[in-house]
Amino acid sequence: MINKLKQYQDDFDLLISKVSSLKELAELRSKFLGKKGCVSLMLIEMRSLSDDQKPQAGKHINEFKKNIATLIQEKTQVLEKTSDQTSVRTEGFDTTLPGRGNSPGSIHPISQIMDEVISIFFSLGFRVEEGPEIESDFYNFEALNIPKDHPARDMQDTFYIGEEVLRTHTSPVQIHVMENQKPPLRIIAPGKVFRCDSDISHTPMFHQIEGLMVDENLSFGDLKGVMNSFLYEVFGKQTKTRFRPSFFPFTCPSAEVDIECVMCSGQGCRVCSKTGWLEILGCGMVDPAVFKSVDYDPERWLGFAFGLGIERIAMLKYKINDIRLFFENDLRFLKQF
């Protein structure tokens, strides 16, 4: 049987060296590997061998089969290449055929809104500052006038990493900036924030922009002016806004700003819970306790701060009803922006 295999191998080597087309190669393949090919015949012959000869013979036949399959595969590649080249030579090449094309990506809607918001504040004289995503308790809470036992800590579902936390808001950047720079200041701090929360309007990671202005003669009127200019730019000049008294430990007085519902134009619908208004950001005059924690003289300096969620603005602007869509990276969704 070994001799027979050797003979087949020699025959095969000779035949394959003469093959010059894919058709001939297919014929050769069926002669050796096909249903009635040499390999099948050998397997039938093997049945008549004694039980202790069978394993050895089976092994040789398998090796032979594998080897032939590889050689045919290699020859296929060579022939495919040359057949392309000959067809280009004989039939010519149609230069008007459309190309394979490459589909360009697009900028993620969150990045688009982020860029837009940054450029609006930039035109109002605000510079961009950044801070770390892992914060100590001091920066995320304490220095912002949220002591350990303060109920406001429950407002934010914090991820703890040992002694440190994943920042629950971008407000701690205020503290870093004031520690390192002297007033007057006008900064915004865009970035990722983290809260242990997930449903159709919450994701464990989302984006905020914090704003801070410190100067000698600032009033709530200045804050209102800046917030309104910003909202008119994003949602259009005709947008109605309202400032509602609220509470944040780091500002006093504090307010939440609403815009007229973009879905129902103030008529009252499911999105605005029939109120006609949508909450859009939090803001207020910097609490003197915050100035004290960074060694600014609260008798001399006044400030206002604000914080807004980028996903929320993107959802209202593009009328998206599930925040999780932003992070699923489904191209059918992303390509619409």
Long-range (24+ apart) CB contacts under 8 A made by 259-268 are 259/231, 259/235, 259/316, 262/235, 262/316, 262/317, 262/319, 263/319, 266/240
Q: Are 293 and 278 in contact (CB under 8 A)?
A: no
Asked if residue 145 binds ligand DAH (CB under 6 A), the reply is no
Residue of 131, 190, 303, 307 that binds ligand DAH (CB under 6 A):
307
Q: Which of 248, 257, 289 is nearest to 151 (CA)?
A: 248
DSSP symbols for 154-179: GGS-PPEETTEEE-SSSTHHHHHHHH
Asked if residue 135 binds ligand DAH (CB under 6 A), the reply is no
Per-residue binding string, ligand DAH, 64-93, x by CB under 6 A, is ------------------------------
Smallest distance from ligand DAH to CB 256, Å:
8
Reading the block at residue 143, the tokens are: 């220095």
Reading the block at residue 223, the tokens are: 């804050």
> Nearer Cβ to ligand DAH, position 145 or 171?
171
Per-residue binding string, ligand DAH, 192-211, x by CB under 6 A, is ------------------x-
Binding to ligand DAH, residues 226-255 (CB under 6 A): 248, 251
Q: Would you give the distance in Å from CA 271 to the centre of its chain?
A: 26
Smallest distance from ligand DAH to CB 181, Å:
17
Residue 262 β-bridge partners:
none
> CB neighbours (10 Å) of residue 126?
21
Asked if residue 282 binds ligand DAH (CB under 6 A), the reply is yes
Which residues lie closer than 8 Å to 33 by C-beta, 6 or more apart?
Answer: 39, 65, 68, 69, 72
Smallest distance from ligand DAH to CB 100, Å:
47
- Contacting range for ligand DAH; rule: CB under 6 A; set: 55-63, 119-127, 133-141, 276-284: 276-284
Residue of 16, 146, 259, 283 that binds ligand DAH (CB under 6 A):
283
Which residues lie closer than 8 Å to 279 by C-beta, 6 or more apart?
Answer: 256, 257, 258
Smallest distance from ligand DAH to CB 134, Å:
17
Asked if residue 291 binds ligand DAH (CB under 6 A), the reply is no
Q: Which residue has the tokens 């500052």?
A: 129
Asked if residue 169 binds ligand DAH (CB under 6 A), the reply is yes
**Nearest residue to ligand DAH, using CB?**
307
> Nearer Cβ to ligand DAH, position 72 or 117?
117
Q: Would you give the distance in Å from CA 96 to the centre of its chain?
A: 38
Asked if residue 117 binds ligand DAH (CB under 6 A), the reply is no
Residue of 8, 32, 121, 306 that binds ligand DAH (CB under 6 A):
306
Which residues of this chain interact with ligand DAH, rule CB under 6 A? Answer: 169, 171, 210, 248, 251, 282-284, 305-307
